[in-house]
Amino acid sequence: MEAFATAAGATVAVIGVDTADERSPAQSTISDLKLTYPMVSDPDQHILHSIGAQGLPATLFVAPGGDIRYVYSSGTALDTAQIDALATRYLGVTVHG
């Protein structure tokens, strides 16, 4: 996700959601992975439950205006090529070409 966020620049807003973690361990992970995109905290998993995701990781593709175009939640992380393909398909945005 970091590679996609960096390549996307201002074209796509990438926002991470720290789910079901306390703030300190989450911040440690953010620092260890050198994540630069903004993160919000959802310790009670409200977002996860509201989108109907069955588990983590989950990735939402949200259009301008807030319309959720696609929810990816298969239990495995997406790689950069998969994120690019989904962003193109559901948001009409090509980042890595």
Percent of the chain residues past pLDDT 90, beyond the cut: 54
Q: Give the tens place of pLDDT for each residue, 48-80.
A: 889 888 778 999 999 999 999 999 998 889 999
Model confidence, pTM: 0.84
3-state helix, strand, coil in the chain (%, to 5): 35, 20, 45
- Tell me the two tokens of residue 92: 């009409």
> What confidence score (pLDDT) does residue 24 get?
73
In the prediction, which pLDDT does 18 show?
A: 87
At 97 the pLDDT is: 59
Mean pLDDT of 25-38: 86
Cα three-residue angle 89-2-16, rounded to 5 degrees: 80
